[in-house]
Amino acid sequence: MRVGGPTIFAVRYEDVLVSQAQLKPAGISDPANLSWRGGVIPQFAVGDELMFTIQIPHAYVEGTTIYPHVHWTPHTRGNEENGNTVNWAIEYTIASILTVFPGEVIESLQGICSGTDHYHEIGDNSGAAEIDGTGIGISAIISGRIYRAAGDSWVTNTLGNRPALLHLDFHMLMDTIGSQSLYSKWS
């Protein structure tokens, strides 16, 4: 522990969530809403997209890799779409405070349907999708879109039969409960 600094804990992963309420329609290729389990979730046709922005928390281990993934459900199509893929993807840019946002990067978050209706599926559970954290510090911003890319094997793409997004999140290594100052992890 650094003297006078934040308390350091064992390094561990934590989710930084992008809930459905934070996902914003782009106004061009918006997913249709699906009534599901007492709520509403977006179902994605190929090309549908939602926009997101998150801020890196102060507990983040600066410079470490960030792992995006999606939580989704086949809702009533699990049995019929067994083994078929959904090509979820994010296109994003990331920048620390007082730096320039670089060009966008695309990461595939492909999901495979388990064959069970209403199952809680996860896209990119392999951890292959990575956001390079080199030079990334606390309060950095990730801004982008989540969309369904072409070329997956989901068969039935009519309204009410498409894969539906539960939420998007990012696994990040955390080692403190915050930072020592407003814009720097250590003073």
pTM for the model: 0.90
C-beta separation of 93 from 101 below 8 A: yes
- Other C-beta atoms within 10 Å of 15: how many? 13
Query: What is the reported pLDDT for 6?
Result: 56
DSSP secondary structure letters along 91-136: EEEEE-TTS-----EEEE--EE--S-TT--EEE-TT----B--TT-
Domains (ranges, CATH) in the chain?
9-170 (2.60.120)
Six-digit token string for 61: 């281990």
Query: What is the reported pLDDT for 3?
Result: 45
Tens digits of per-residue pLDDT, 39-87? 999 999 999 999 999 999 999 999 999 999 999 999 999 999 999 999 9
Six-digit token string for 141: 């911003």
